[in-house]
Structure 1
Amino acid sequence: MHKLDADMGAGENPTACKPHQQNGDRKEARRSVTKISLHQLPEPDGSPPLDDYNPHLHREVETPTTNAETLIHLLKGSLGTGILAMPNAFFKSGLIVGFVGTILIGSLCTYCIHVLVRSQYRMCRSLRVPILSYPRTLQLALEQGPSVLRRFALYAGGAVNAFLILYQLGICCVYIVFVATNIKQVVDEYYEAKLDVRLYMVMLLPPLILINWVRNLKLLAPFSSFANVVTFVSLGITLYYVFDGIPSPSERNMVGNVVDFPLFIGTTLFALEAVGVIIALEYNMKNPVDFGGYCGVFNRGMGIIVFMYVFVGFVGYVKYGEAAAGSITLNLPTDQKLAQSVKIMFAIAIFITYALQCYVPLEIVWNTYVKDRLVDVSNRRKMLVEYVMRTCIVIGTFLLAVAIPRLELFISLFGALCLSALGITFPATVELCLLWPSKCYGRFYWILVKDILLIVCGILGLFIGTYTSIANIVQSFL
């Protein structure tokens, strides 16, 4: 399988190229500004370039994932704690704003990922390399963009990696809090001694370390399949409780408090935009051409995900109103065994998904910042260092979760802080800069106008959403 230094890290993966292409492709990518013109790319109307190089044909993946496995990973990567937080998000936005806003944000996230993947493919064709990482893509695009942006090209790789690592580790922190909180609710019904939720986090630490020693994404596919089944069964039971005595939607607010809208946006972004996992999945597909397109793997997966998020958010808020918790499972009865089983099943599913989410930052850190420093180290010792690194990163997420066990505020903070940049601002910047030399922005420069609007919206979402989330976290401790 590809190591994610090619997928997410700063450099290209040499193992992804055929042996006779490795050195040449890497050198060409690094000398792209002087040796290759990036504006010799397909036009926005889809007309091909003169060069018929197809990056997909030059990818070599040791254990590629099929379309079905990719769809399973996509669903599992997105159907986590985010969907369970949607009733709380609808409480902040109101029914109408939540319904329309979730669809719009889901469509925006889907479109921006398509922009990024399409731009990467076009750049790979021009540079004649099988893969370009997200950080490398942004860096090369900025070098070709407006002069005011070129000065930031040197810092692009580090910025993307920092946001990716922070976001994925933030997800892992949320998962630890979620699993521990749900287990605590169940155990508290049977034992008089009410243990602190942090003690449950301590109990989770050893198995979390062990599952994150799995180094192959394909090996996680069966676990993801099991987790998907458990998730859908648990959702079904949860909806049974939701529809049992559900009140009329007219009893809920159609429009929420405007001050809380940034929290709604942050939560919805967190729930929908698993950008790190999505890009990694595309890179590791057996048939990456099937990823895009109107009926491609990505659109099918996102269609299912957005529908489920809207549905659960809407009916969950109608049922629980202002009492909607950071996870809808926390609203279920604590004294009924069926409800308790839902909490345990969701805890198991999220526990498994932790390994998938943590896979991305682990591979970035290993391939970008650690592996190259161990050139003269034996393979056995190198593997030992990798396992130590994996263990330390898991412990780091555990410590952060213990420090701030606020589920809904965690979700909103990391969604606003990281995904406004990774999922909206950076993809639009890549497309804007990529087309800058040729000025092929379509009639009336609509692509340029669209990209500028996306960049502005992403930046506003980052600053406003992050400020609101941090202010609420501080307020919760007062």
Structure 2
Amino acid sequence: MTDSTISIPPSASSSSVFTLNDFNSHTNLTEKPEHTDEYFPSQHRDQVKGQSTGGAFAHFLKGSLGTGLLAMPMAFYNGGLLFSMIATLIMGYICAHCIHILVKTSQDLCKTTKVPALGFAETAEKVFENGPTSLRSWSHMARLFVDYGLMVTYFATICVYMVFIATSFHDVINYNFGLSWDVRIYIAMTVIPCLLIGQIRHLKWLVPFSAMANVFIIITFAIVLYYLFNKPLEFSDKPLLARPTQIPLFFATVIFAMEGIGAVFPVENAMKEPHKFLGCPGVLNLSMFTVVVLYAVIGFLGYVRYGSEVRGSVTLNLTEGDPLADAAKLLMALAILFTYGLQFYIPMDILWKKISYKFEEKNHNTTQILLRTGIILISVGVSAAIPNLEPFISLVGSVFLSLLGLFVPAVCELVYLWPDRLGFGKWRLYKNALLCIFAICALVAGAAASIRGIIEIYN
């Protein structure tokens, strides 16, 4: 998911920050090849400023690794050692497959509609526009669903960020200074830097923050690995399969951790050779293989080390009062704070494009300041109401990313290929139907378990 620290180019669609018109205005388009009617999107992309395959791999990998990695031990606690290891590998394949079919559909639509690139929401819209006649009236609704789904997802994510930042500072400061302040006090203090970073409206000004965040994350991971291996690991008291009531929380957390659906189109749209995003090995396959291996290893070792005491981020389990552990907690909190601006930028850009026409241009600056301030204050209120990281992560993963990361790609491929391109025996119909059913089950079961946990905490 779930936190993306990539530099998003001006080629992404409205669902990925920018519109297609923005893409065309920022790219050097070449002439359509002569003597052929086939349209090649790569020949109409910016070959000077476009992103290389290696750069795309680095960006997509960076966008897929973040707080979700540190939440994997909690996922293993909710699944059990053996079940979680197997299910993590399966979920990694499912997430990679859903991204693959969504990007493949988008690239095929680019050739059909003769445009250089399509973003997430535009892909959903074009799928229905070019699909069965009876579904074409749903095209605008599909675009709105993805746009608003992305906005809600990112706004929910910034609430998770605030809780994580506040909890990290709460644990370090309260222990070292003998305080007993409630975590809500730290959430209230977090609003000050978030208000400042949240007012940044240009991606280039966020680059230094993202660079520092990446350095802090690397150092934190190294410290976490040190603590995971500094004592003998105990396996005997860890169940191979957790209680059935915990399983939905496992899937919700893993979906939150692995689904980087918001980072897919900004990366793919910026590539000079978009066909290399898919394929074997390809950017997607290499990135997801690396992500799945890291998530499985950290989840397994983190749960073996801390067992039932594992928390929403494994950094919060590190030894209290230990200078190295405190450094890891604070560095990770600062890394999340520095990536807050990018996470907030994406939904605000989508929202502003939808409502800016309602205000006079001379009032745009004041309106943006007030709007951004209001949304940040609302997110602080939500965070203070649910100051516990575990059910919050599960809720975001189960509700929003189940829909955007699993359900929407399956529906898009199904509608695009309907009715005569579904493969032998219409196997793609059944495959996508199973994906949709799985997404809905993950949504309902995960949301119910998360809300139940939130209610228990509130009481």
With normalisation by structure 1, the TM-score equals 0.85
Aligned-residue offset at 1:417:
0.2
Which amino acid is 1:6 matched to? S
**Are the aligned partners of 2:122 and 2:143 in contact in 1 as well (CA < 8 Å)?**
yes
Within 5 A, what are the aligned runs for 1:426-441? 426-437=408-419, 439-441=420-422
**Are the aligned partners of 2:15 and 2:119 in contact in 1 as well (CA < 8 Å)?**
yes
The superposition leaves residues 107-133 of structure 1 with CA deviations (integer Å, 9 ceiling, x where unpaired) of 111111111111111112111122333
Pair 1:253 & 2:239 matched:
yes
Report the counterpart of residue 466 of structure 1 in structure 2. Answer: 447
Which of 355, 359, 363 is matched with 1:370 structurally?
355
Within 5 A, what are the aligned runs for 1:46-195? 51-59=37-45, 67=53, 69-145=55-131, 152-195=138-181
The superposition leaves residues 359-395 of structure 1 with CA deviations (integer Å, 9 ceiling, x where unpaired) of 321221122x123435x625xx434433443333333
**Are the aligned partners of 2:118 and 2:269 in contact in 1 as well (CA < 8 Å)?**
no
Report the counterpart of residue 311 of structure 2 in structure 1. Answer: 325
Secondary structure at the residue paired with 1:251? Answer: coil
Shifted more, 325-334 versus 300-309: the winner is 300-309
CA distance in 2, matches of 1:86, 1:15: 37
Pair 1:2 & 2:10 matched:
yes
Which amino acid is 1:2 matched to? P
**Are the aligned partners of 1:144 and 1:436 in contact in 2 as well (CA < 8 Å)?**
no
The superposition leaves residues 33-60 of structure 1 with CA deviations (integer Å, 9 ceiling, x where unpaired) of xxxxxxxxxxxxxxxxx84222333346
The superposition leaves residues 205-262 of structure 1 with CA deviations (integer Å, 9 ceiling, x where unpaired) of 2322332333343554454343223212211211221222233323311111111111
Report the counterpart of residue 197 of structure 2 in structure 1. Answer: 211
Pair 1:312 & 2:298 matched:
yes
**Are the aligned partners of 2:45 and 2:272 in contact in 1 as well (CA < 8 Å)?**
no
CA distance in 2, matches of 1:171, 1:19: 30
CA distance in 2, matches of 1:441, 1:324: 44
Which amino acid is 2:429 matched to? L
Which amino acid is 1:295 matched to? P
Which amino acid is 1:94 matched to? G
**Are the aligned partners of 2:176 and 2:321 in contact in 1 as well (CA < 8 Å)?**
no
**Are the aligned partners of 1:74 and 1:301 in contact in 2 as well (CA < 8 Å)?**
yes
Aligned-residue offset at 1:176:
0.9
Distance change >3 Å, CA 288–CA 165, structure 1 → 2: same
Aligned-residue offset at 1:154:
4.2
Report the counterpart of residue 47 of structure 1 in structure 2. Answer: none
Secondary structure at the residue paired with 1:190? Answer: helix
CA distance in 2, matches of 1:477, 1:62: 54
Which amino acid is 2:212 matched to? F
Which amino acid is 1:453 matched to? L
Shifted more, 339-348 versus 217-226: the winner is 217-226
Secondary structure at the residue paired with 2:178? Answer: coil
CA distance in 2, matches of 1:451, 1:298: 20
**Are the aligned partners of 1:420 and 1:459 in contact in 2 as well (CA < 8 Å)?**
yes
CA distance in 2, matches of 1:20, 1:261: 47
CA distance in 1, matches of 2:422, 2:112: 18
Report the counterpart of residue 391 of structure 2 in structure 1. Answer: 409
Which amino acid is 1:252 matched to? K
Which amino acid is 2:409 matched to? P
CA distance in 2, matches of 1:179, 1:62: 39
CA distance in 2, matches of 1:143, 1:453: 24
Pair 1:475 & 2:459 matched:
no
CA distance in 2, matches of 1:248, 1:231: 27
Which amino acid is 1:377 matched to? E
Distance change >3 Å, CA 138–CA 280, structure 1 → 2: same
**Are the aligned partners of 1:4 and 1:363 in contact in 2 as well (CA < 8 Å)?**
no
CA distance in 2, matches of 1:172, 1:244: 33
CA distance in 1, matches of 2:160, 2:254: 14
CA distance in 2, matches of 1:213, 1:168: 16
**Are the aligned partners of 1:12 and 1:131 in contact in 2 as well (CA < 8 Å)?**
no
Distance change >3 Å, CA 305–CA 19, structure 1 → 2: closer
Distance change >3 Å, CA 233–CA 386, structure 1 → 2: same
CA distance in 2, matches of 1:366, 1:62: 30
Which of 8, 11, 24 is matched with 1:17 structurally?
24
The superposition leaves residues 8-37 of structure 1 with CA deviations (integer Å, 9 ceiling, x where unpaired) of 47x943232259999xxxxxxxxxxxxxxx
Distance change >3 Å, CA 421–CA 224, structure 1 → 2: same
**Cα root mean square deviation, aligned:** 2.8
Aligned-residue offset at 1:430:
0.7
The superposition leaves residues 290-309 of structure 1 with CA deviations (integer Å, 9 ceiling, x where unpaired) of 43332333332222221111
Structure 2 unaligned segments of length 5 or more: list them: 1-8, 30-35
Aligned-residue offset at 1:66:
5.0
**Are the aligned partners of 1:16 and 1:60 in contact in 2 as well (CA < 8 Å)?**
no
With normalisation by structure 2, the TM-score equals 0.88
CA distance in 1, matches of 2:212, 2:134: 49
Report the counterpart of residue 30 of structure 1 in structure 2. Answer: none
Secondary structure at the residue paired with 2:177? Answer: coil
Pair 1:266 & 2:262 matched:
no
CA distance in 2, matches of 1:61, 1:189: 54
Distance change >3 Å, CA 284–CA 358, structure 1 → 2: farther
Report the counterpart of residue 300 of structure 1 in structure 2. Answer: 286
**Are the aligned partners of 2:220 and 2:331 in contact in 1 as well (CA < 8 Å)?**
yes
How many residue pairs end up in the alignment? 445
CA distance in 2, matches of 1:134, 1:150: 17
Secondary structure at the residue paired with 1:189? Answer: helix
Which amino acid is 1:255 matched to? L
Q: Percent identity over the alignment?
A: 36
Distance change >3 Å, CA 360–CA 286, structure 1 → 2: farther
